[in-house]
Structure 1
Amino acid sequence: MSIQNNSSVKVIQTTCPYCGVGCGIDVEVKALSLVGSAAHPANFGRLCVKGAHLLETISPEGRLLQPAINGQTASWDEATTLVALKLQQTIAEYGPDSVAFYVSGQLLTEDYYVANKLMKGFVGSANIDTNSRLCMSSAVAGYKRAFGADVVPCSYEDIDQTELLVLIGSNAAWTHPVLFQRMEQAKKSNPAMKIVVVDPRTTASTAQSDLDLHIKSGTDTILFNGLLNYLKQKEAIDRCFVLENTDFADAAFDAAEPYSPEKVSELCDVEYAKVLCFFEWFAASTSAISFYSMGINQSVSGVDNANAIINCHLATGKIGKPGSGPFSITGQPNAMGGREVGGLANMLAAHMEIENKQHNALVERFWSAENMVKTNGLKAVDMFEKLHKGDIKFIWIMATNPVVSMPNRQKIEEALLGCDTVVVSDTVSKNDTLKFANIVLPATGWSEKDGTVTNSERRISRQRAIFSPTGQARHDWQIICDVAAKMGYQKAFAFTHVSQIFAEHAQLTAFENNGERALDLSALADLTKQQYDVLQPIQWPVNKANPKGSSRMFMDNKFFTDNRKAKFVAILPKPPEQVTCKAFPLVLNTGRVRDQWHTMTRTGNAARLHQHTAQAQLSIHPTDAAILCLHEGDLVSLRAQHSPLPVILPTLISKNQREGELFAPIHWSKTWSSHVNITSLFTDANDKISGQPELKHAAVSLKKTAVKAQGSLFVSHEWPELLLNKICDYWVKIKLENGYHYHIALLGAFERQSVAEAKNTPDTSEPISLSNWYAQISAHIIQDSEIQTLTSASQLIAVNIDQEALSMLVVLHMHGKNAVNDVLEYQIDANWLSTLLGKDVVFASDIRDLLRNCPAEEFTQGRLICSCFSVREKTISDAISRGCNTVDNLGKQLKCGTNCGSCKSELSSLIKVTQMEEPK
């Protein structure tokens, strides 16, 4: 990987490619180091642990380096010519709606713009949707219903000024750590500020809260209808604001009337006193922010959830003022930028509407479009349904992994398998979706891409290239323009630099706008290439009235509806679509863990990011675990009515769960484990307005998985999936600094029959011995290596030395009367092994230490708590016992919690636990 030829540039300022916070990053080119940009208003120098370790994720290893057609290497000319030809042939035979693009919030705005222009202006279909449909579309629809436009009214600076901060369905401490640090700082600066957390689970975000409402999953609209009713009953309404600046308030109040605090307490399954406290605080505060995320959006009631929250802000006039407003926080780096250019199937570029005749004609004239689309396209779930039925014959997937992220995995796989032409543009050479591609196109990734992104507070920032492209990778906009030119649309796609695309996008936002549309970048429409290159972060609208951008919207109480008034929406709560029953009695919720992101195609490359949570686990309440006779770490099988294959996970028994409700993280897939793809347990259920899938509420059954034997492999090189499937029934892969750690297992006969890989696994119908299993494993290692073993009746430990270096360590356990004790006695530290893999092991004492599990002292300090500074649990507990009993003091002594802050909630928990355990 080569650095760009610009030796005079010492520091390149760019933007983080993870969540929607949009943190600025300064990369020191010669030293290859990075820090948070101190001047960037999104983060002021802060970075979370994922952002801080970005440079560890960009190795050429695992990158897609050149185009391929049906598995065979091809030139760029061959590949793009074939894509153009397949598009033209499919359109000619089946019509424009037989083709589809499925794109991503990880594309830059300029990539998104040309993809939408090609589909909606020249192909003549609106069948271009995005994975932002899975995270933000309900929030978008809620804003449009209330304000007439997709406008987030708040800025991050409002967090610093609010009296009441309500986190709803958001574990910001882990998912948006930099903003959570800002919340913590606001609380320190103003101790009177109240923080309320509304979430079915106890999460890391509750560490700073004054009130927690652990509501029953799927009852959000009931809670906020109850709040609206309470505000009216207690005359806490801003009547002047409501009368002058809103419509339909009476209908919303009428719909909310049945929901008294007592009724809310009953239906949400929350203590009455807590419900009443929340309602009183909201009514009494002069400012309030409702900060909501996936827990609100990923629901069949997602849009209603959003509008129920917005109703309460409209009723009290807590909008357009410092420290006030409904604030949806975005999951992806450029979900908002994609919406700006029409990234969703029911939108046109520049926040215009496809089926609005005036908007449609305006864009058609601006683009000189040859085949302008007239009707909305297919949203993501519907798109893959049509693909499954065979109505869509061609799909181009860009920068996303729908086999993992979309619900109903089996249907997605069948749809892609049956499609005539599947094109995938991506940065990686392996993920679950690439297996179905006919044509593969290598795209540039973060550190190579050049363009803009828009964060959750409407702030446009530059993402600048640090390195030249890896291999033959090209920018997505270049690939799309090349295909468009080969389809005969060269004039409309004759862009030679990304700044030209941005200029056209900005010009379209200004074209015949006259103040009628919120998105207005007219002050940026004439940027030169040089001005674009040095563009500083700025919030839209950016126009004559706001040449330096706009931090807060609706300060004049004017909205973007037909009469400039905001609209209340009457909300009638409805239950989740996947309801529990006797056969499927448990509710499954999903979300993120602290140090991973999306499907791990980027974060999975950084070994350090595996240390906090090494593998997916199923969180279950102790009461439910006791009923099912489960112990911590037991493998369990999850099934849903529509899904024939089980998801198998180890258990994490936790009081943070509500009884009857489970939680599993979304990140792990079949690239990382044989039996982990959580979204396969979810149906196509989605919000009928937004199309956003219900990914927070599945009805599942749970059963302990019969396991005959388990083990761990520590190896210096990655093992292919086919090999793993031959030696075991179940496996999980964990990246180490110098190799890989695999958890493996042989399952019982029933479990083996229900997995697709059964034919490749050992014959478990016959008695198994550890020596036989180890023989099958060792048959696939270097035969000339030195092997030393330590064996008991139910445990085998083997050390493999190749050319005096440790190449593999195997630990196998039989499940029998003594197996549990053996397993508990040999919990080897993966990080210790990682330091030894590939290193010289020449002394008998080294091998004895490995066989007897005698790690260096630094690896006996318990689980990793602080990833930034590698501080472990025992080190922290010892410091607390010595009197270092505040998070701040721990930071001063050990540095934990002083960088990204993601571990602060765990530090608080350790302080409480350690103090409780100490003798009085």
Structure 2
Amino acid sequence: MPVETKTTCPYCGVGCGVVATVAEDGGVSVRGDPDHPSNYGRLCSKGSALAETIDLDGRILHPEIGGRQASWDEALDLVAGKFAAAIKEYGPDSVAFYVSGQLLTEDYYVANKLMKGFVGSANIDTNSRLCMSSSVAGHRRAFGADTVPGTYEDLELADLVVLAGSNLAWCHPVLYQRLAAAKAKRPGMKVVVIDPRRTMTADIADLHLAIRPDGDVALFAGLFSHLVAGDAVDQNYIAAHTSGFADAFLAAGRLSFAEVLERTGLPAMQLREFYRLFAETEKVVTCYSQGVNQSSSGTDKVNAILNCHLATGRIGRPGMGPFSLTGQPNAMGGREVGGLANMLAAHMALENADDRDRVQRFWRAPAVAQKPGLKAVDLFKAVGEGRIKALWIMATNPVVSMPDADAVAEALEACPFVAVSDVLGKTDTTRYAHVLLPSLGWGEKDGTVTNSERRISRQRAFLAAPGQARADWWQLAEVARRMGFADAFAYAAPADVFSEHAALSAFENDGRRDFDIGAHAGLARAAYEVLDPFQWPQPAGREPAESRFFGTGGFYHADGKARLVAVAPAETDRTDAAYPFTLNTGRIRDQWHTMTRTGKSARLSSHIAEPFAELHPRDAMEIGVGNAGLVEIESPQGRAVVRALITERQARGSIFAPMHWNDQFAARARIDAVVPAITDPFSGQPASKNVAVAARRFAARHYAFAVSQARPVEPDAPYWALAKAAGGWRLELAFAEPAGDWAGWCRRVFAIPDGVEPLGYADAQTGDIRLAFFDGTRLLAAFFLARGPVAVARNWAIAQLAADHADPRRRFALVAGRPGADKPDPGATVCSCFGVGVNQIVAAVRGGCHSVEAVGKTLNAGTNCGSCRAEIRGIVDGCLAAAAE
């Protein structure tokens, strides 16, 4: 009989419940958990494709030392020995951990306990520093604790939802679906999107504010002044529950309306309409994400938003409040255990002597770190400078995701000892590992995660551990044991860790700290196995309940009051004559972080298969880049070469490029190699949304497209981008010089067996070359070369990998690159869930489907995860507008 397991999605911070089913033949399928309160059965495209990402291809299945297989004992002895030796000779601050929001809370807890309580250093930081640490800093300044006040339900109850720096449709798709459904039921609900570019989220916006990069402080400071001037503040709430109002108002009042217009770049009519909506609507939720956080003024942006909610008392009540949307599945769990270098476990403060003493006594630790450790950017600088002698990286890929990524690679190469715990043997980071430790992946590991609304859910194993892979908490506990701390790390199961974590949250708390899950202290393993999702706080003796904070005050500063923080806008324009464009980095719909998981799915790669940069048409024309041409993006830190996507969604002078691509999937597309290591002074979060760059046409002599059964060997081309495809692989290429023997080039790159001769032709006049290699009736590889971007239908060509080519006419049609009348080209994929292409949608519209719903009924497109509905609506509207001309 099939076995069902309730677990949690490992992608974004929405924290969707998933039901994984293992069939009798071992096949796995997934669906949304209809009982989980985060998603009620919905899943996005990435979540829907989870079963396609759990194969063992590329997995590391045993420990390695210097590239050779080793036993766990040998590898762990070496890690413990290297860390102990560095500590003995250079002191505790000579070692560091760099961890990840992909870890489970139990892993995070053990890592934090080992470093801060037993090594005695706070040099443990996390890739969550890159996505939400400005929110943490802003919360702590305003509330006295890192508290998210509201719940997801507030988005559905609000009359105005402001989305600041959040492409909700692509980055938190299930929340977007919930919001879109609520707006459809209550058309009077208003949505405002604040984003420099018109993203897919703007599809449901009543107002899109195309703000200048880093104009958010000025925008919300101006709003604060408007609220005060219009008597839209709550004087009773301000007097009873806040301090700092006068200073915050004085700072905001220094900006005139004209200056706000200048700094935000917004039309006066739009600005006045936004201010009016906010002032006149009581139930307001302001959701903010990376566009706010990833800034050199990110913390001030957060506090500018919080000021507006505190001054109006619109916080902690149904349908109102500020809402930080976290990027990773367990960024919040990491915050709970003190996974950041400047925090202690259980939301206690590293700078507070009483908190340090409390944690030390609870852990019975020899010494708790006395000062903050190195935040991520400074940590890798210290590695490069030789101050860090031993570094352990867990579940993350900093050579791709960190700013100034090439410098990070150089630092790791020079580091005396690097241990890496990961699921894949080959990433941009694992190549620098002296010791490589095989970790459990999603579906294999057990523990908990916390989502953006403070809801703790279980991730449960439904697959056996492959090879010798082991849990991250186990690896850490074993190293701790070898370093002499066996008694404090004698965990036998993740339930033991969770129980201790819960007990620490309640230890000497009595309501003085926001994070309290004492109801689960001493939780038995059997109860842990069946633990239902719950929202914190849940102190001992209290039943699980939905909760909000601060509706009637109760803040965590010593006086119980919130702080309104005086903020002033900083200079935002970093461009100059040498670097005249502003680069904004971010995420796309169907890929996740550095693609180590989503890159395995052909379905997820079908929507956008190669790295790209969005440019405004005028900008593209001025630098000489045409449609589907290549653009080189450069800063003083590095450069990247990506495909040009020319669109009016992008503002003049601005470029958007996604952060996912890496050296495993492309030649030179690690966009964070272009981003400088500029950080927010309070949070240490890098500024990844406002980067001064130069952009120019990448001159290529030839372009090529190929499909193959086998994964291509890394091609010797200045531009290439590889993606998984149905039945094999797809490859985009560009060459500066001809290879000469193209057939020989194909044989090497596509591993064509000896004796297989190509079918093809070369056109001396156009420069086109077409080659196809067949093994019997099966296509091994097809290669299309041209002097310009190759005009071959991609999805049709990919489908030929699974087709039967016994008929010679099919072979010649393939070489010609022309779909037959019986196999029309579906066009570029729009709906990944059902593999529906743009040409199919256009045909449906011409056939009478004049709405997104009608297209869905005909083609199924947009009826599963819904992430593509905005694109479908754009196609429908475009077709109808063209027909009306």
1:174 aligns with 2:139: no
For residues 289 and 546 of structure 1, what CA distance do their matches in structure 2 show? 28
* 8 Å CA contact 1:784, 1:802 repeated in 2: no
**Residue matched to 2:251:** 255
1:846 positional shift: 2.5
Letter in 2 for 1:74: A
Query: 555-564 vs 684-693, which deviates more?
Result: 555-564
Question: Which of 770, 790, 808 is 2:781 aligned to?
Answer: 808
Q: Please give the residue correspondences for 1:844-863 in structure 2 after superposition, counting only pairs within 5 Å.
A: 844-855=808-819, 857=822, 859-863=824-828
**Residue matched to 2:760:** 789
1:656 positional shift: 0.5
**Residue matched to 1:656:** 649
- Equivalent residue of 2:381, what SS? helix
**Residue matched to 1:778:** 747
Query: 881-890 vs 88-97, which deviates more?
Result: 881-890
Letter in 2 for 1:626: M
1:669 positional shift: 1.1
- Equivalent residue of 1:575, what SS? coil
Question: Which of 861, 876, 894 is 2:841 aligned to?
Answer: 876
For residues 20 and 116 of structure 1, what CA distance do their matches in structure 2 show? 21
**Residue matched to 1:489:** 485
* 8 Å CA contact 1:597, 1:667 repeated in 2: yes
* 8 Å CA contact 2:104, 2:449 repeated in 1: yes
For residues 166 and 86 of structure 1, what CA distance do their matches in structure 2 show? 50
Question: Which of 669, 684, 689 is 1:691 aligned to?
Answer: 684
Deviations 1:243-300 (A, max 9, x none): 1110000000011113344332222111100000000000000110000000000000
Letter in 2 for 1:798: L
Query: 866-875 vs 391-400, which deviates more?
Result: 866-875
Letter in 1 for 2:849: C
* 8 Å CA contact 1:716, 1:838 repeated in 2: no
**Residue matched to 2:332:** 336
**Residue matched to 1:711:** 704
* 8 Å CA contact 2:624, 2:696 repeated in 1: no
For residues 889 and 777 of structure 1, what CA distance do their matches in structure 2 show? 44
1:699 positional shift: 0.5
* 8 Å CA contact 1:136, 1:331 repeated in 2: yes
**Residue matched to 1:27:** 20
Deviations 1:16-43 (A, max 9, x none): 0000000000112226221100010000
1:737 aligns with 2:726: yes
CA change 1:545–1:740 in 2 (3 A) is same
* 8 Å CA contact 2:313, 2:551 repeated in 1: no
**Residue matched to 2:628:** 633
**Residue matched to 1:904:** 869
1:546 positional shift: 4.0
Query: 883-892 vs 487-496, which deviates more?
Result: 883-892
**Post-superposition, which runs of at least 4 consecutive aligned residues in structure 1 deviate over 6 A?**
none
* 8 Å CA contact 1:160, 1:323 repeated in 2: yes
Letter in 2 for 1:744: L
1:861 positional shift: 2.5
1:114 positional shift: 0.4
1:164 aligns with 2:164: no
* 8 Å CA contact 2:117, 2:367 repeated in 1: yes
* 8 Å CA contact 1:66, 1:442 repeated in 2: yes
Question: Which of 51, 68, 73 is 2:69 aligned to?
Answer: 73
Q: Please give the residue correspondences for 1:116-127 in structure 2 after superposition, counting only pairs within 5 Å.
A: 116-127=112-123
For residues 786 and 473 of structure 1, what CA distance do their matches in structure 2 show? 43
Question: Which of 551, 566, 576 is 2:562 aligned to?
Answer: 566
For residues 385 and 14 of structure 2, what CA distance do their matches in structure 1 show? 38
1:545 positional shift: 6.7
1:894 positional shift: 2.3
- 5+ long unaligned stretches in structure 2: none
1:461 aligns with 2:426: no
Q: Please give the residue correspondences for 1:357-506 in structure 2 after superposition, counting only pairs within 5 Å.
A: 357-506=353-502
For residues 839 and 258 of structure 2, what CA distance do their matches in structure 1 show? 45
1:371 positional shift: 2.9
Letter in 2 for 1:674: A
* 8 Å CA contact 2:447, 2:495 repeated in 1: yes
- Equivalent residue of 2:741, what SS? helix
* 8 Å CA contact 2:634, 2:694 repeated in 1: yes
1:839 positional shift: 5.9
For residues 404 and 693 of structure 2, what CA distance do their matches in structure 1 show? 14
* 8 Å CA contact 2:796, 2:826 repeated in 1: no
**Residue matched to 2:669:** 676
1:884 positional shift: 2.2
For residues 469 and 491 of structure 2, what CA distance do their matches in structure 1 show? 18
1:885 positional shift: 1.7
* 8 Å CA contact 1:785, 1:803 repeated in 2: no
1:52 positional shift: 0.4
For residues 315 and 542 of structure 2, what CA distance do their matches in structure 1 show? 19
Deviations 1:376-427 (A, max 9, x none): 1000001001111000010000000000000001210111011000000000
For residues 565 and 390 of structure 1, what CA distance do their matches in structure 2 show? 44
**Residue matched to 2:321:** 325
Letter in 2 for 1:868: C
For residues 824 and 41 of structure 2, what CA distance do their matches in structure 1 show? 31
1:196 aligns with 2:192: yes
Letter in 1 for 2:784: V
* 8 Å CA contact 1:543, 1:549 repeated in 2: no
- Equivalent residue of 1:100, what SS? strand
Please report the TM-score for the alignment, with normalisation by the length of structure 1: 0.94
For residues 615 and 795 of structure 1, what CA distance do their matches in structure 2 show? 22
CA change 1:882–1:847 in 2 (3 A) is closer
Deviations 1:287-344 (A, max 9, x none): 1000000000000000000000000001111001110111010100000001101100
- Equivalent residue of 1:918, what SS? helix
- Equivalent residue of 2:125, what SS? strand
* 8 Å CA contact 1:261, 1:275 repeated in 2: no
**Residue matched to 1:894:** 859
**Residue matched to 2:36:** 40
**Residue matched to 2:735:** 746
* 8 Å CA contact 2:421, 2:439 repeated in 1: yes
1:832 positional shift: 3.1
**Residue matched to 2:610:** 615
1:859 positional shift: 4.9
1:915 positional shift: 0.9
1:209 positional shift: 0.5
Deviations 1:588-627 (A, max 9, x none): 0011111101000000000110111111111100111121
Letter in 2 for 1:278: F
For residues 88 and 226 of structure 2, what CA distance do their matches in structure 1 show? 59
Aligned-pair identity (%): 45
**Residue matched to 2:240:** 244
For residues 401 and 673 of structure 2, what CA distance do their matches in structure 1 show? 9
For residues 72 and 240 of structure 1, what CA distance do their matches in structure 2 show? 68
* 8 Å CA contact 1:230, 1:261 repeated in 2: no
- 5+ long unaligned stretches in structure 1: 1-6, 748-763
1:886 positional shift: 1.9
For residues 655 and 184 of structure 1, what CA distance do their matches in structure 2 show? 24
Letter in 2 for 1:607: A
- Equivalent residue of 1:38, what SS? coil
* 8 Å CA contact 2:722, 2:731 repeated in 1: yes
* 8 Å CA contact 2:117, 2:365 repeated in 1: yes
* 8 Å CA contact 2:713, 2:748 repeated in 1: no
Letter in 1 for 2:730: H
